[in-house]
Every structure is written in structure tokens, then in C-alpha cells.
Chain A
Amino acid sequence: MLALESVTYRYAGALRPSLREVSLTLSEGEVVGLAGPSESGKTTLCLVASGLAPRTVGGTLTGRLLLDGDDAAPLAIHQLAGRIGIAFANPATQLSGVADTVYEEIAFGPMNLGLPRDDVIRRTDDALATLRIEALASRHPARLSGGQQQLVAIAGLLALRPELLVLDEPTAQLDPAGSRMVADALARLADGGASILIAEQKTDLLAEICRRVVVLADGAVALEGPAAEVLADPRLEALRVAAPADVRLSRAADVARLPAAQRERLRGAVGS
């Protein structure tokens, strides 16, 4: 459904490209995770996948972005808005700033697209229901907690009925309660068949919801494969990515040369 073909991208005025010959495909209903240290290209990849790079952000892109098999290059950003939704790490800057209620905030996207009023209302109601935030509908967006604001931001994307959701470190700035709120909502969306591309430092979250994981290093794809395999790969440490807590625990047990019986007990307890 979405494909990057040998994409190289350089920000305007940058000396080196942030993405180097990256190829990636995402099928309908797939949840793909993006891992990698800071400045490895995760955010850039998200911006390219959503079309913001180069349209809004500038810079030069070589290679192709394909949406349902068609080259996305001739499409303007507002045309991509209804097909790909993107959310970022900072909950506050994603609010439009002009809505007094969560309801209007979520309706912002559909309103911009000029859809009939009944359509706008139906989509907003659906988004509230899908994320189970109906109770927040009349609250002022600026006065919500970070986790709540992120859910409102994601609801705002869902109201656009996009084919794909791109999430750039959505829990990076949230406290544990907020992260849990967002993680649970994303897990439900994934179960419901949504197509999601999610970049995260927290590999535990990727382990929870992703089917496949791609690891970036210096703007290129370093590892790729089924989530469980990639996240248990011993090369992660050298790539400066922290494996999920349970993987690290099992690995430490192996390193400590615990007797096999104890390692079995541990594995059993960690898995539960």
C-alpha cells in the first residue's frame, strides 16, 4: 500500500543526506515499527512517508514514494492529508490552537477538507468512540494531560479516515500513565486492522503492537524482519538500540551463566 523505493533525502542546507537509499513497503493492515538511535533517520522517514518531506519541509528527495502503486510526487500535501495521517512526539504543538473543545479540534481536519457537515459530524463521533474519549469531547484541548492530548491528536487523524497512520515517537514526552493510555489505544487500533508505521525508542511498545520492525542506522536500513526476531537480535546493542526489557533480562541470564534450570524458570516468569 505504501512503498519507499530507494529513497535518499537531504534536508535543505544539510551537508549529508538523512536517508540513504531506503526501501520499505507496508501492506494494508500491517503495523511496522521503526527503531534506531537519535538522528538515525526515524523522523525523516516518517516525514517522507507522510509527504511532508519535501512538500512542507523542503529539501531534496530522490527515489520514489508510492501510494497504492502510484507515484505520490504530483500530489499536494492537502491531497495526501486525507490518505495519510501523521502524529508527532509533542502533544501540544499538534493542537490546531483554534478549537475551544476537543470536539472541534477533532473536526478540524474534516472541516478543512470541505466535507459535508453531516459527514464531518459522523467522522468526529466515530473517532471519539474508537479511541474511547467521548468523555473528553467538551473539554478544552489545552487543559488536558499529555497523554490525553496525544489521544485527541490521533483522533483528529482518524477523523480524516486515512489509509495509513504514521506516528513519530508518540510516547516520547509522556509520563508512564500517558504512555500506557496511548499504547492501549494503539494496540486496539492495530487489532482492528489499521495500517500503522510507528517510530519509537521504547522497543517494549514496538514488541507489543508491531508485526515487523525496521532498524535504521545513519539513515540506512540496518535490520529488518518479524518483530520478535529483530528485537531479539544481538546486533541491536551495537546499533545503539535498547532491546525490550524481557529480552535484555533473558540475555543477561545467559551471560551470567545461570544453570539451565534457573534460566528456564526465568524465561517462564518473564513470558507471563
Chain B
Amino acid sequence: MTGRSAPELRLESVTHVYQQGAVRALDDVSLTVGPGEVVALIGQNGSGKTTLVRHLNGLLRPTSGRVLVGGQDAAGRTVAQLARDVGLVFQDPDRQIFAGSVRSEVEFGALNVGLHRDLLRAAVEGALATVGLADAARTNPYDLGGSRRKLLALASVLAMQTPVLVLDEPTTGQDVAGVGRVRGVLRDARAAGHTVIAISHDMEFVATEFARVVVMGGGRILADGTPAEVFAPSGWELLRSTYLEPPLAAQVGDRLGLGSTPTQAALLAALAGAAAQ
């Protein structure tokens, strides 16, 4: 991982409008994500999550308001320039894979951001190892199964060594091994002090891996806090209004009157604590 420190990401009163005002994908949204934060973005389809993250690398520009990356207005930078700081992994790997081999696919992004020779090789090897595709470097991407192609897409952005990593539904359609790899990526990112923002509808994954959860609906931020805060029983009505279910651990904890227990670990700790009394 690079020694570059992650830039602060800031949205200031960002509104994004489609179709001459008919659709307000983002409605006066303000959000700050500090360097090294690991944030989950949850909400139903159409809540604005995808629109929001596309502002972070310039694919979308605000209709009004500002987007600041590292204190600098993103408006003055092209997408290709912002891609050096913010790596965005799309949900569907088949809408980006084009190379004949896994290695070439992973090299693409790294080459674009200016990595050469030794640095390039190290970045590519590292990315392949992290997602478990090191032994498939020469394989044709379409000879891999769907889950591994998704990991390939992830690797191709990891090799760019961006200090900010944005993931769109990283665990959807993944099996246990694949989810394990994604957790490994998060672990490495935390260790390197990189910022991670992930869109996900896997509530258990969100509760266990992320220190901060932002709930979106109708183009606005509805809640923002730790998993314990967001998944506390007082927040369930809000969650359910966006068609999300709190994690099982939270529901069980509530049934047992143990307060907010968003994860298995928290639930067991609370039980043990209750037993000790």
C-alpha cells in the first residue's frame, strides 16, 4: 500500500437533479468523511447512494453545491485525475472486463494512474494475492465464475493503490470465500489508514465491518452513526421504511431486552454481561 495519506471527502449542500428537475437524486446533501474512515452507505434502490458515490470521483457533477477532495474543489479536476485518489469498484464486473487475461485486466487501472515497471508489478501482484487470483493470472476472465470475476474487478481497482476505496455492493452474489476476501480488503485498508466507503444491503456485513453507517432515502441522509446507534431498536422504524431489516443479532438482542446489539459479538457480550450480574 502507498504511504499517501487519505484525503478528506466532503459534500457541501450537494443537490443533483436529472431530467430537467424531474428527478432529485440528491437533495441538499452534506457529508464529511475523514481520512481513514470506514463507512457503509445503506438505503433502498433509488435512495441516492449510487449518485452520491459517483460525485466522489467526478463521474457526476453537482447541480448545486460543492464536492471537495482533500480540501480541493473536485470541479477543477477531471475524472481521470480524481481516479488517482478515489477508486470506485462497480457492481457488475461484466460491464468493465475487456482484457484477455486476468493480469492485463488488473494492469489497466494501474497503468492509467501512472504506475510503471517495478511499482506496477508490485501493485498488480499485491492486488491479485489479496483477492486470491494469483494462480489465475493468465486465465481469461470469462473462464472464471461470476464470483471470481467480481473479485477481479475489485483487484483491478486495488492495483491503482488509491487512498480512497469506494465499493458498490461488494458482497452481493458472493459465496463465503468471496466475502472473506472482501473482509480481507477492508482489513488491509484499515491497516494502511485508507478510507473505505461501501454501498451494501447485507446488514450483517455492514454491522460487523464498518465503524460508521449512513442511511439514505429519497436523496437525503436519514441517519448517520455507529452500527450500535443506527441499528438500535429506536431506529428500526426508519430502517423498515426504507425496506431494510435490522441484523438478526439486533433483533434477538431486542427480544432479550439487552439494548442495542448490532453484531453477534455484541449480543454475546451483552448476554455474558447479563449473566455476570
Contact = CB atoms under 8 A, between A and B. Distances in A.
Interface in B2-18: none
A267 B172 CA distance: 29
A177 B44 contact: yes
A253 to B, nearest CB: 6
Nearest to B270: A262
B175 interface: yes
B271 A262 contact: yes
A73 interface: no
A269 to B, nearest CB: 4
Interface in A255-272: 256, 258-259, 261-262, 265-266, 269-270, 272
Nearest to A242: B176
A252 interface: yes
Contacts of B98: none
Interface string B133-173: 00000000000011110000000000000000000000011
Contacts of A269: 252, 255-256
A78 interface: no
Given A38-B146, A249-B267, A266-B271, A172 B252 contact: no
Contacts of A192: none
14 contacts: A38-B148, A38-B177, A145-B45, A173-B172, A201-B175, A241-B176, A249-B264, A252-B264, A253-B271, A262-B271, A265-B271, A266-B267, A266-B271, A269-B256
Prevailing SS type, chain B contact patch: helix
Interface residues of B, number: 32
Contacts of A261: 275
B59 to A, nearest CB: 22
A39 interface: yes
A250 to B, nearest CB: 10
Contacts of B175: 37-38, 201, 240-241
B201 interface: yes
A269 B272 CA distance: 15
Nearest to B204: A245
Interface residues of A, number: 31
Contact of A176 (B145, B245, B274): B245
A229 interface: no
Contacts of B48: none
A249 B252 contact: yes
Contacts, number: 80
Prevailing SS type, chain A contact patch: loop
Contact of B172 (A172, A245, A249, A266): A172
A245 B275 contact: no
A266 B252 contact: yes
Nearest to A259: B275
Given A145-B45, A172-B173, A176-B201, A266 B256 contact: yes
A270 B268 CA distance: 13
A106 B271 CA distance: 51
Interface in A134-187: 145, 169, 172-173, 175-177
B243 A176 contact: yes
A253 B248 contact: no
A89 interface: yes
Contact of A256 (B44, B148, B201, B272): B272
A258 B25 CA distance: 48
A246 interface: yes
Contacts of B174: 38, 201
Contact of B274 (A38, A256, A262): A262
Given A262-B275, A265-B256, A269-B255, A176 B244 contact: yes
A235 interface: no
Contacts of B249: 249
A258 to B, nearest CB: 6
A252 B243 CA distance: 28
B178 interface: yes
A147 B173 CA distance: 15
